[in-house]
Amino acid sequence: MTVNGGESLRLYKKALRYAETDPEVFLGTARRAAESILLDIAMQEAVGSKPTLESLLTVLAGKGLVPPKVVLAVRTIQNYGNYGSHAQNAAGEEISAEDVRPCLNALTQLAVWYGRTSTALAEDEARQGLAAVQHATSTSRIADSSLIVVKALLLGCGFEQLLAQRSHRLVQVQLPWSDHLVTDVSQRLLDLAIYNEQRVLRLREKHEEIRSQVIPIGRMGYSMGGRNFYLLAARTGRWGNTTPAEFLANPAGAQIAVPKLSDMFDNILAAFSTDEAGLRDMGVEILDVPHHLGLELFHLNKDVLAVGGQNLRMHARDNAGYFELLNSEMLPPQAQERLRSAASNVLIANHSWLAEMRAQPAELHRELMRCFHELSAEKARFEDVVKDLVTHASFPQESSLASRERLVRHVLFESYRLGEPC
């Protein structure tokens, strides 16, 4: 878990908001964001340093904790920050949005690196803790998640009660959503996990240990009912007057911002029925951005197209300045089917754990799903799940309690037809 990650992200987003409206304020905020990011990395790595940009960068770079390209980006931010301070004292000298673009690009490069580094550090820390605790008899470990779609299943399927009937205590371990979950189950660091079905099948095909030790128990539904793909555009940008049919016929020149190492990028490939090389042949450029970047992305480039999670989607629906240029329902039937298949999640279990539990996969799956779908008839229990999700799932920092609850109810209905449509 990052120590200072929330503040770093806040400053980064604040800087983006000022990039066009007040470039001088942007430069100062960009420098503060860079300092906050480096301080967070230093604290995570237990590196001592004065809390200044120069000292942090010197120490972290000297220890090889900041790669040369990122050092260059930080130096760019530092130099522009100094320029902004001097310009404020120069009579009649104004800084334009165009003047600060190199600093803006450098800040985004730093944020992308920081997002990946922080995620890797958090995952390593969680996994080391998992390996350090010896597996106890009559204890079952399941991967916990802050994703609404997955957390809802963990809360609603009655895992704890089901295992208690078999004299087992459930231990939930918070781990990032990644292929490592499947490896952890194969090595019995975990007994159970919910993960993307297609990724599980690919890993079972490639690795003998996973194939022999990881057993798919059963499908646990589809994220957003398989309709979780969209391309978000700004109405004042290049694509503001383009129809979905026109875009699909000629997407040349499109810049699509998406976290590249994600199932969201896989969805783009499925939507266009191609691979990464095919996108390049179409004239489509992929911009690898941090997974947590929201509508601030359009401060960088109004012509960009964004692909993100349901948080970003719901935020955009509350703002008349944005629209979905393309989504699942606008695509041909074959592409829709590919996207639906890519959205399915599956419960997996360790082979040895199943043997110890003397549980049949089909029976176990049936019990869990019956408990989950009974939520639709048990209003009090359903409302408890909603409250737990609003409290424990992941949301943008600036979101209100009302918007979080609305998003939770929307995702539950679209994914599992629980509750009412929002």
pLDDT at 325: 96
| The two three-digit tokens of residue 326, written as one number | 């393309």
Q: What is the pTM of this model?
A: 0.72
Q: What is the pLDDT of residues 216-247, one digit of tens each?
A: 999 999 999 989 899 999 999 999 999 999 99
Residue 190's pLDDT is 93
Strands 214-222 and 344-350: antiparallel
Q: Which stretches of 69-210 are assigned E, i.e. beta strand? A: 139-144, 169-174, 192-196
Structure tokens at 406: 């609305």
Q: Which CATH superfamily is domain 230-341 in?
A: Periplasmic binding protein-like II (3.40.190.10)
3 state DSSP class of 165: coil
Q: Is the dihedral of CA 314, 315, 320, 324 positive or negative?
A: negative
CB 419 within 8 A of CB 413: yes
Going from the C-alpha of 62 to that of each of 31, 66, 69, the distances in angstroms are 20, 8, 14
pLDDT of residue 55: 87
Sheet holding 255-258, edge to edge: 285-288, 255-258, 305-306, 230-234, 322-327
At the top level of CATH, the class of 133-223+344-414 is alpha beta
Question: What is the reported pLDDT for 31?
Answer: 92
What is the secondary structure of 84-143 as a DSSP string? HHHHTTSTT----TTTTHHHHHHHHHHHHHHHHHHHHHHHHHHHHHHHHSPPPTTEEEEE
pLDDT per position as a tens digit, 243-255: 999 999 999 999 9
What's the pLDDT score for residue 301?
Answer: 76
pLDDT beneath 50: ranges in the chain? 1-4
4-129 and 230-341: same fold? no
Report the distance separating Cα 126 and Cα 148, nearest Å. Answer: 20
Residue 52 CB coordination number (10 Å):
12
User: Which pLDDT value is given to residue 1?
Assistant: 35
The pLDDT assigned to 390 comes to 93
253 close to 283: Cβ distance less than 8 angstroms: yes
Q: What is the pLDDT of residue 187?
A: 92
Find out whether 299 and 19 touch, Cβ atoms under 8 Å.
Answer: yes
Show me where the domains of the chain are located.
4-129, 133-223+344-414, 230-341
**Architecture of the domain made up of 4-129:** Up-down Bundle (1.20)
Beta carbons of 233 and 325 less than 8 angstroms apart: yes
**pLDDT score for 240:** 94
Residue 3: predicted pLDDT: 43
Cα–Cα separations (whole angstroms), residue 46 to 49, 63, 199: 10, 12, 35
